[in-house]
Amino acid sequence: MNVLLIGSGGREHALAWALCKSARTGSLFIAPGNPGTVRCGTNVALNASDHAAVLAFIEEHEIGLTVVGPEQPLVEGITDFLTANGKLVFGPTQAAAQLEGSKSFAKGIMKKYGVPTGDYLVFEGHEAGAAREHITRNNSWPMVLKADGLAAGKGVFIPQNLDEALWSLDALLADGLYGKPGSRLVIEEFLSGEEVSVFAVCDGKNTRILMHAQDHKRIGDGDTGLNTGGMGAYGPTPLLDEAGLEGVRLTVVEPMLRGMAAEGSPYTGVLYCGLMMTPDGPKVIEFNCRFGDPECQVIMPALQSDFTELLLAACEGRLDSYEPVVDTQSWYTCLVLASGGYPGSYEKGKVISGIPAESEQVQVFHAGTKTDESGRLVTNGGRVLNVVAKGETLADSIRLAYEAAAQISFEGLYKRTDIGAKGLARF
């Protein structure tokens, strides 16, 4: 079966790597892909927002399965369009993708169907005064302010005091730092604990949890500085054992599946559950409608089942009779190598050298790279490369990842030095 994968980041390179190993995959096309994905299939210059062009490509190349990597095409409704034209797509519908596309929608569904999460209030753009009054009356810090729509993982502020909160409010509502000025804002209760990402493949009724991982969102060591799209991850995490995962399935994933079905929007695709492990148990911080980035980069090497077959089982509604196999005896660590200045302004076009060859223990997934006019590999984004290592222990995987990353160089290269440290502290 020919497969089309939509996307161009590190997540998509990891997905392409898994798809091309499948016995069910014939020709693999990646749109638009990156310099790393060319080793997995054929990169094609397709704009995912041009649904008619995507459909024409699918028909011309006899694509049997389309896999949508990033959230934007899902929120724009690519699954609906292709499905209406008789094509098989892994990824939720536009209505179901609102779980990521609208924080207020997700909060409302959680409240309605009893999924544990923090308290919240929603303010429209014209209610800036009411939002300011609410913040001013607040006596509990920190608090959480979120842009309602998509913000590439960066539209969240956690002010520690009133001045920071009012600045964040202006940035979100007045300045439109993430989204249009005057967009909807969600103010949430701050949840204390450690974050865990749980990934469940869903077919509308049934679910299979693949793995859990811990992302590192902040730019600086010790979880300091601005939020990013993710500076590294490791998995599995000692924060959840088998009983804990079963609890997440029963209290979070299955109620959401039942709820979305009841709302007339059955959820098919991967459901990313961003959880806070609070003293009162896991509570949902956010849902995403796609694999996490960089968590996907540690999940794909751990998946021992045929990935294409797993996605087909989800699309065809037969997950109840399919049990994926995941390597839970090893540990996987991903380091993000970023451009200097990220998540703020940064320069592109820096020559990259020293990428180690792929091995059983180490993979390097491309994220923000391109090939320049001279054929050199250069930086082309904030998050440039993902170095992933497998180890018999978490300490081994961390060590191997940093050793491999030390071989890579480009001007301005930045990486955190403490990825996985929170996990090690649990042993």
* Residue pLDDT, tens place only, 22-62: 999 999 999 999 999 999 999 999 999 999 999 999 999 99
Counting residues of the chain whose pLDDT is more than 90, the rounded percentage is: 89
CATH number at residue 211: 3.30.470.20
357 and 411 both lie in a single domain: yes
Look at residue 150 in the predicted model and tell me its pLDDT. Answer: 79
Q: What is the pLDDT of residue 139?
A: 83
Pair 343, 295 in one domain = no
Mean pLDDT over 347-376 rounds to 97
Cα–Cα distance for residue pair 299/46, rounded to 1 Å: 27
**pLDDT band at 154; cut points 50, 70, 90:** low
The pLDDT of residue 226: 86
d(CA 400, CA 403): 5
**Residues 85 and 166 placed together within one structural domain of the fold:** no
Residues 125, 183 contacting (CB under 8 angstroms): yes
The reply to whether 149 and 180 lie within a common domain is: yes
Label residue 151 by pLDDT band (50, 70, 90). Answer: low
User: Binning pLDDT at 50, 70 and 90, where does residue 303 land?
Assistant: very high
Which CATH number does the domain housing residue 66 bear? Answer: 3.40.50.20
**Cα 400 to Cα 191: distance, rounded to the nearest angstrom:** 33
Residue 360 lies in a domain: yes
For position 147, what pLDDT does the model report? 87
pLDDT reported for residue 227: 84
Residue 181 is predicted with a pLDDT of 42
Residue 298 to residue 336: CA distance in whole angstroms? 12
Structure tokens at 339: 């451009």
Give the pLDDT mean for 266-275.
Answer: 97
At residue 138, the pLDDT reads 87
Q: What is the mean pLDDT of residues 105-111?
A: 96
Residue 104 belongs to some domain of the structure: no
- Which letter, b or e, does each residue of 277-305 get, where b requires 16 or more Cβ atoms within 10 Å of its Cβ? beeeebbbbbbbbbbbbbbbbbbbbbbeb
Picking from 301, 321, 341, the residue at the C-terminal end of a domain is 321
Is residue 421's pLDDT more than 50? yes
Which residue's structure tokens are 């997995």?
Answer: 40
Cα(271)–Cα(347) distance, rounded to whole angstroms?
Answer: 34
Domain with 363 in it: what CATH number? 3.90.600.10
* C-alpha to C-alpha distance for 26 and 23, rounded to whole angstroms: 8
Output the average pLDDT for the chain.
94
| Residues 229 and 305 both lie in one domain | yes
User: Could you tell me if 208 and 259 lie in one domain?
Assistant: yes
357 in a structural domain: yes
Residue 317 sits in the same domain as residue 205:
yes
- Indicate whether 207 and 311 sit together in one domain: yes
* Single residue among 254, 289, 321 that ends a domain in this structure: 321
Checking if the pLDDT of 182 tops 50, the result is no
H-helix segments, 305-393: 307-315
Same domain, 403 and 352: yes
Helix axes 307-315, 10-20, angle to 10 degrees: 100
Within a domain: 113? no
Assess whether 390 and 278 both reside in one domain: no
Query: Tokens for 383?
Result: 């998050």
Number of domains in the chain: 4
Which pLDDT band holds residue 389 (cuts at 50, 70, 90)?
Answer: very high
| In 11-155, beta strands by DSSP E | 28-32, 42-43, 63-68, 89-90, 120-123, 144-147
**Does 155 have pLDDT greater than 80?**
no
Judge whether residue 153 has pLDDT over 80. Answer: no
Q: Hey, which bits of 255-407 come out as E strands? A: 268-278, 281-288, 331-338, 362-366, 369-371, 377-379, 383-391
Q: Pick from 188, 214, 247: which residue ends a domain?
A: 188
Burial 193-224 (b: 16+ CB within 10 A, else e): bbbbbbbbbbbbebbbbbbbbbbbbbbeeebe
Lowest mean pLDDT among 128-142, 338-352, 403-417: 128-142
Q: Do 199 and 304 lie in a common domain?
A: yes
Which of these, 186, 201, 169, lies nearest to 110 by C-alpha position? Answer: 186
Question: Is-contact 172 145, C-beta < 8 A?
Answer: yes
Whose CA is closest to 136, among 108, 179, 166? 166
Assess whether 165 and 69 both reside in one domain.
no
In this prediction, residue 104 has a pLDDT band, given cuts at 50, 70 and 90, of very high
Q: Mean pLDDT throughout 277-289?
A: 95
Range of the domain at 368: 331-424
pLDDT single digits (tens) 199-245: 999 999 999 999 999 999 999 999 999 889 999 999 999 999 999 99
Confidence of residue 254 (pLDDT cuts 50, 70, 90): very high
What is the predicted pLDDT for the residue at 176?
52
The amino acid sitting at 233 is: A
Backbone angles phi, psi at 135, to 5 degrees: -65, -40
